[in-house]
Amino acid sequence: MSVGIDDISFYTSNYYLDLKSLADVHNIEKDKFYQGIGQEKMGIVAADEDVVTMAANAALPLLKDVDPHSISTVMFATETGIDQSKAAGIFVHGLLGLPNRCRVVELKQACYSATAAIQMACAMVARDPARKILVIAADIARYDLNSSGEATQGCGAAAMLISANPRLLKIHPESGNYTEDVMDFWRPNYRSTALVDGKYSTKIYLKSLKQAWLHYQDVGGVEFEQIDHLCYHLPFTRMAEKSQSQLARVTKTGRDAEQLNAMIEPSLSYNRLIGNSYTASMYIGLISLLDNAKEDLSGKRVGFFSYGSGCVAEFFTGTVVDGYEEHLHRDLHSKLLNNRRELSYPEYLDLYHFEYPTDGGEHQFPEQTQGQFRLAGINQHKRIYNAR
């Protein structure tokens, strides 16, 4: 029996800022963003959207042809938590009408925690193959205005069903881990924007890649030459290029620059247009690979490098299942990205500065999202969600 990803889809806001607008305002060349960090647009959440609504929107297409009673657990990975006590996934569980006989939990470790969720989900399915686990990763990447991180904001959610004999990707058991106590990126509870030591964070990311890879080799992982494609955590897509160079150095591969680039290119398309979505980024990269690769990926081995600042990293691989193409949500994804509206810079600032009221009163939020679910308001400190 194999275990892995049976279905996968993503959601992002229907608003974006073109990084050209940001470049114009800061009087810098747009190519610093388009080429230097490999980002063109960044998704910006509407006032009536948060990680819960994005997560529910991402998961909805997965529930069309599955018995909800077979879902035993919802694991919600996020670093954009909305409550210190209640798991955001419980709101999602309610919005999706999942049965009460289900467990729901939230996981946190910066951008990494969806990978922990998937590994745990695989172990749970191996114990009880009749069950499916819904893993959702959702985040809103936010940095201070005029900071180095501003151009690497974004938002999105990826939802995956983990099952026995999956239709999309078998996940192999070998995985390499690396954990080190570092302060490269963090967000204290009292802040709504992240703090980051930008250049240091990229160095730690690459160091973690090397260490996770070496551990992966020590536990019997396949060699680099046996891997066909790679999905990296994507804070910005240029990071995947830097990562490929790093792995090429470490593995002393015979592959040339063109071959190395071909291994990552299809996984970058969506993230270039969405920006960083923290926990969801690497999995949106996987969706991009599955939806956009020109070749048939059946039987191809995909390597994954998951990184979360602070830091925890993991390298593992999966093999694409024959017939996977019949189960993709490609049209839905292209419609979602093509129907977004570009924000002017002042409109971006308006959404950036929108703050949820904290006075305990009754507040309704403007109807802005085009998604199926929205955050309608807050009343007595309780978030009120509904379907559109």
Catalytic residue among 215, 233, 329, 333: 233
Full strand arrangement of the beta sheet holding 15-18: 41-43, 15-18, 341-342
Q: Which is nearer to ligand HMG, 161 or 264 (CB)?
A: 264
What is the distance of C-alpha 312 from the center of its chain? 16
Return the residues of window 177-196 that contact ligand HMG according to CB under 6 A. 184-185, 196
Query: Is position 150 annotated as part of the catalytic site?
Result: no
* 174 Ramachandran zone, left/alpha/beta (phi>0; psi -120 to 50): beta
Q: Which is nearer to ligand HMG, 280 or 287 (CB)?
A: 280
**Per CB under 6 A, 268 contacts ligand HMG:** no
Catalytic residue among 40, 93, 111, 231: 111
* 272 Ramachandran zone, left/alpha/beta (phi>0; psi -120 to 50): alpha
Query: Is position 111 annotated as part of the catalytic site?
Result: yes
Q: Which is nearer to ligand HMG, 160 or 312 (CB)?
A: 312
Stretch that binds ligand HMG, among 223-231, 256-264, 282-290, 307-315 (CB under 6 A): 307-315
**Per CB under 6 A, 158 contacts ligand HMG:** no
Query: Is position 225 annotated as part of the catalytic site?
Result: no
Return the residues of window 236-265 that contact ligand HMG according to CB under 6 A. 236, 239
Return the residue of 18, 49, 50, 79 that touches ligand HMG, per CB under 6 A: 79
- How many angstroms separate the CA atoms of 42 and 149, rounded? 12
Stretch that binds ligand HMG, among 11-19, 113-121, 305-313, 349-357 (CB under 6 A): 305-313
CB of 349 to ligand HMG, least distance (A): 19
**Per CB under 6 A, 154 contacts ligand HMG:** no
Alpha carbons within 13 A on the beta-carbon side of 85: 1
One character per residue 17-46, x = contact with ligand HMG (rule: CB under 6 A): ------------x-xx--xxx---------
Q: Which is nearer to ligand HMG, 95 or 196 (CB)?
A: 196
The catalytic site residues sit at 79, 111, 233
Binding site for ligand HMG (CB under 6 A): 29, 31-32, 35-37, 79, 110-111, 148-149, 151-152, 184-185, 196, 198-199, 201-202, 205, 233, 235-236, 239, 276, 278, 307-309
